[in-house]
Structure 1
């Protein structure tokens, strides 16, 4: 457990006195995804340093975190972020390995390339090839990977777009950041020509490239993603990958709160084909939805980072963070946990959202069994079985306590993941 969330100066001083026997991991940001990554690495005795712009995240009090502290937020000051991280790296006896848990932290590390820090994912150009949705969908077209009908505004005339796409349809950015600055979201559904033109005009003011996309007839409960770590070409190894089905969301079309491992060979094949073509290496989540009209999965997005339910593939025998760490620290041998006979069954639940869905949605029926709940309350799920959690662990209670005390006050964290 990190006893103190330091400011940058104090963190550098503390790390200068640290007695570490191997390269530590820098995990940023230090919230729900961050604590899952920290636990996956700490299970293999990797020291973890949690970084964030605020002390409100749930990761710092975890037993999996050795040190925690503040760094400049990369979206506020990229040069300041690089300088802070370089000072932290300079205080250490080993070059740390960076794990970025949200897009802004990925870009912060990839754009600034702090000296003395190992990045276990592609450079900025490689990340951009994946995150640029216009490029991603063009690759899908070339490779025969199904994706929603999509047009880039400007490349295709607005009259033609309206003619080809029936209202309502969705408007989304080719790159998230500028669009999010304008609208505070990544997807906007437009009902008519006027709404479409208003969104496009506002996006242009922010310099955001806009895509118009059909509204897919999504089969509820069938959303499926490939959780993967693709090693660098030099490693000459196969990707480590697990397919997960977001069986329950909160609210119904919100974020995942129950994810199950499933066998979907087409999802695995299509996602890895796209990733291979981009040349991207690192941890990623390739998101698909099942189109009830096409009767097949279509690729929506790829996130080039860990995400909220990354503990599920870890529990299923594919420790993606440890695999990334092992490749980054090439001078030593570190074995990533991987089931020898393929992934095991696994389920992940994020209890705060799952319980809210149970309590507030009269049409939803609890899909956890009495044995599941007994295992959760007793803590037995940590020792055996296929169930794991996003935050709550009786063996490591402090993150859940931090979350609950935050709910009881007006303290809010700036990111739900």
Structure 2
């Protein structure tokens, strides 16, 4: 395990004293998603170096992580990020494989292309074909994949958009970065014309190209995603699992805190058709919601990276990080049978149980017993985010954050 989070110089010193029999994985950032990626790779004896801009994430003390330390944050200084990563590779004495757990780190690796870093995902052009929602929704239109009713103000006057959609409606960016910098979020719901005009004007001042979209009448508890790794050979060889975010916190529009495998061939086929058209390869999550008016799933977004519940497909038998690692190294990984899996993020799930009288606990007595005893780690279909009795330090750090003023931003 990494017994300390090093500054950059000390990290390099530690790596120069180490030896690796295979390319280490660079997992950035080192938080909720990062610890799940590290554990998935460690299960196959892949050495892991966790990188982050500070030590406040929960992942770095995990037994699955060999070294952890600071590098320049790519949004602060792209050239500094590339230089730090190249120094890490040189100190390790071998090529490394990048696993980026937030869009900022994905772009950091793809834009700067540090020497000695193998990317198990598409180049920047391939990533942008997916992350650009304007392009994504145009592809959906061509392929017949349902998506929310969407307007571009460059094509349709604002008055016509408002009349067509009514309020409330949703404003989201074609590209997240500038919009998130201006608003601190990547989706804004507006309830009246004044708010609409103010948001559009602020987005224009920030240089953010936006889309105006219907507020989908979402069926709560039906959100469904394709978790997949698409190799360079294409979607015919994809490793994938469909997961239903059965419980969110808060219930309707919060983040996932309970996800389980489901059989939804239409979701899988629609997601893979879009990924095939973009040519993207790598790990991704294709997010769908169930539109109660249309009575069908509509595509909202595709994340070109690991995400919070990445350990669910791993538990089900589809170790997406290992599949990605094997594709760019000499390691071997093959998927046999993909079965059932469930994932729970206990920090949010317990708060939901304690604070929402309308929510009824969906875990059984046997599930709780397996969580408390730790037996879930060795048997059954249930897994967790962060909490593992056999690897307690990440959960201990997560508990600490609830009682301190330490802040750590992560989209997971």
Q: For residue 39 of structure 1, what is the aligned residue in structure 2? A: 39
1:202 counterpart SS class: helix
Per-residue deviation, residues 122-180 of structure 1 (Å, max 9, x unmatched): 00000000000000000000000000000112222112211221211100000011001
Per-residue deviation, residues 106-131 of structure 1 (Å, max 9, x unmatched): 01111111111001000000000000
1:334 aligned onto 2:329 = no
Structure 1 stretches of at least 4 aligned residues deviating more than 3 Å after TM superposition: none
CA distance in 1, matches of 2:29, 2:107: 13
User: Is the contact between residue 102 and residue 411 of structure 2 (CA under 8 Å) also seen in structure 1?
Assistant: no
Q: For residue 155 of structure 2, what is the aligned residue in structure 1? A: 155
User: Is the contact between residue 2 and residue 61 of structure 1 (CA under 8 Å) also seen in structure 2?
Assistant: yes
Per-residue deviation, residues 282-334 of structure 1 (Å, max 9, x unmatched): 000000000000000000000000000000000000000000000011xx242
Q: For residue 206 of structure 1, what is the aligned residue in structure 2? A: 206
CA distance in 2, matches of 1:128, 1:159: 30
User: Is the contact between residue 143 and residue 274 of structure 1 (CA under 8 Å) also seen in structure 2?
Assistant: yes
User: Is the contact between residue 227 and residue 244 of structure 1 (CA under 8 Å) also seen in structure 2?
Assistant: yes
The root-mean-square deviation of aligned C-alpha atoms, in Å, is 1.1
User: Is the contact between residue 340 and residue 381 of structure 2 (CA under 8 Å) also seen in structure 1?
Assistant: yes
User: Is the contact between residue 235 and residue 276 of structure 2 (CA under 8 Å) also seen in structure 1?
Assistant: no
Q: For residue 319 of structure 2, what is the aligned residue in structure 1? A: 319
1:128 aligned onto 2:128 = yes
Q: TM-score, normalised by structure 2?
A: 0.98
2:146 counterpart SS class: coil
How many angstroms does 1:412 deviate by? 2.2
1:247 aligned onto 2:246 = yes
Structure 1 unaligned blocks of 5 or more: none
2:358 counterpart SS class: coil
Q: For residue 58 of structure 2, what is the aligned residue in structure 1? A: 58
Q: For residue 5 of structure 2, what is the aligned residue in structure 1? A: 5
CA distance in 1, matches of 2:220, 2:352: 15
Per-residue deviation, residues 340-371 of structure 1 (Å, max 9, x unmatched): 23x21110000000000000001000000000
Matched residue count: 411
Q: For residue 75 of structure 1, what is the aligned residue in structure 2? A: 75
User: Is the contact between residue 24 and residue 96 of structure 2 (CA under 8 Å) also seen in structure 1?
Assistant: yes
CA distance in 1, matches of 2:236, 2:409: 38
1:6 counterpart SS class: coil
Structure 2 unaligned blocks of 5 or more: none
Structure 1 residues 244 and 204: CA distance shift in structure 2, 3 A: same
Q: TM-score, normalised by structure 1?
A: 0.97
User: Is the contact between residue 313 and residue 319 of structure 1 (CA under 8 Å) also seen in structure 2?
Assistant: yes
Per-residue deviation, residues 11-51 of structure 1 (Å, max 9, x unmatched): 11111111111000000000000000000000000000000
